Chain A
């Protein structure tokens, strides 16, 4: 079992550009949540996808958008990048509506984004 996988592992972009991050959930999981972890901070919830729809959203601007595909994999898109978007972006997968019991959320290794 590969667990949660994310790509790419690292990314460097410049201000104003757009970026797409990808996540494949753990086998058997159907719900994907995205978190942003700035340096020295805990992860902050961005949004969650289930059945190809955004089910919950944290306090992030519309520049952050996502998508879930029929195979449950997911993408996180960020437009008009700002320096403050530099962070580790984590994907967590789980089973069931609204993310399943919290103890079954599995995190991927993250994508480290640097905005210059």
Chain B
């Protein structure tokens, strides 16, 4: 079993839809949870960062962490074609440790 599981998609939605992206994990030592966006042929760009459980909102993006279920989510409201990218979840055991990534979910938002 991989430490971090993420459905690779692709996930296709129309413009304006609410998008839900998810990851599950097996290592209960993970404390830091990140979402990265990666456009084609580019490096990952940090979108959201959450410590431990709870919700965090930033504009159209909301990150949720449920440590009891070992499940994290990223919601994108009012999705735009420019949101089309691969979304990677990543986790770390401490603020100074290396990152463990999921496979990434490819999102396609059509106009």
Q: Report which A residues bind B (CB closer than 8 A).
A: 4, 33, 35, 40-45, 48, 56, 58, 90, 96-103, 105-110, 112
Contact = CB atoms under 8 A, between A and B. Distances in A.
Contacts of A108: 43
Contact of A90 (B44, B95, B102): B44
Contacts of B66: none
A108 B41 CA distance: 11
B95 to A, nearest CB: 4
B96 A90 contact: no
B43 A99 contact: no
B92 A102 contact: yes
Given A97-B96, A98-B97, A105 B46 contact: yes
Interface residues of B, number: 26
B101 A44 contact: yes
Contacts, number: 69
A68 to B, nearest CB: 16
B101 A99 contact: no
B49 A103 contact: yes
Contacts of B78: none
Given A33-B98, A98-B96, 7 more contacts: A40-B104, A43-B101, A56-B97, A90-B43, A101-B95, A102-B34, A102-B97
Given A99-B96, A99-B98, A42 B104 contact: yes
B6 A103 contact: no
A44 B2 CA distance: 12
Nearest to B49: A103
B103 A43 contact: no
